[in-house]
Amino acid sequence: MKQKKEKNMRFCHVGSIYSLLVYIAYSTDDQLKRTFYLFDRMIPDEFASKFKNYFHFHKHSWLPSKWYFYWLDLMFQKVFFCPRIKKDAELFANDHLWSSSAIIGRHSYTLLEDGARICSMYWFGKDRTYMESNRKTKSYKIRRFLFGPVEVHPHGDNPCCTNLLLTTDDCPDYVRTKKIYRLYWNGLWDSFSEWKKKMIMDVYDFSIDDMEYVKSGKIILFTQPLYPDFISEEEHEKIYRAIIKKYPEKDLIIKPHPRDTFSYEKISSNLKVFKKNFPSQLFEMLGIKFDVAVTAFSSAVMNFEYPLKIDWYGTECSETWYKKFGHIEPPKGACLKTL
């Protein structure tokens, strides 16, 4: 249902629960109370439904698989179910999503990062090469005319993006002309009002018992949803089995990526797996600390603002990963590991 329009309404367009946390953490109570959320299909229904003012965009599978059908569907949803984004309205957004170009259009916006160092990973990685090749297709000029400058120019690489909200010092050349707002996780929780703390705990379904469970681990493993998108279940299990066996089970806690569906209990029934769907940066905000952070190549390990050891296995663990993502530079000071 289309929500009632309000004066000075703010807009937040996100496709990940991480970016949603970045927006909530940065905004004041008043700003949150007058925000209208434009959720991409990647946001789970159980998260979207916890907000009063929102619309959840969906990609209808019955539509023919042509980009112009999806554009028409997106515009229909935007025009008939969402408040109009006025020229002077503040818009905070992910800009790399299926729905982003149609929602942002030609409106100026502040980029919400979708992971630590996402701008550098785009600029120096294979995504930029892919986008540049996409700009050479026959349909590109038509799509850019319909959607606006954001089309095939993600992660702030377009004139509509005037500001960036980042959690790391991530400044490749193309963002240096834009204004950058820096968010620090460490100690942020104590600055929040009780209303905002309750909002975060309710949205992410996090409790005191959850805190105690997570604190029982000294080593945290951040997984990634590489199966079934890029590799088989067998290869996924083989890689993570090899990583997990390098650490004492009693000290290890596994934090699966929100879209990771693999059952790590298959590797060992004694493993501690924290399955609740929320960003790992919530640990940092709440003051939960670990001795070691382990990952294949997840950006989750880049957000820690206190000293800890980082074990980085890299895309080189899998030929398929390497072909898809190329080499991803590890965080400064990380220990490079092999299987």
Average pLDDT over residues 130-143: 92
- For the whole model, what pTM was predicted? 0.85
Is the pLDDT at 3 greater than 60? The verdict is no
pLDDT for the residue 114: 94
Tens of pLDDT, residue by residue over 170-216, are 999 999 999 999 999 988 999 999 999 999 999 999 988 998 999 89
Is the pLDDT at 335 greater than 60? The verdict is yes
Spans of all domains in the chain: 10-182, 207-336
Sheet with 309-312, side-by-side order of all strands? 272-273, 252-255, 219-222, 292-295, 309-312, 335-336
Is the pLDDT at 229 greater than 90? The verdict is no
pLDDT for the residue 31: 97
CATH architecture assignment, domain 207-336:
3-Layer(aba) Sandwich (3.40)
- Between CA 244 and CA 233 the distance in angstroms is 16
Average pLDDT over residues 7-36: 95
Average pLDDT value over all residues in the chain? 92
Phi, psi (deg, nearest 5) at residue 82: -125, 150
Confirm if 89 and 13 have CB atoms less than 8 A apart: no
pLDDT for the residue 20: 97
Helix (H), strand (E) counts: the chain: 13, 13
pLDDT above 90 as % of the chain: 72
pLDDT for the residue 7: 62
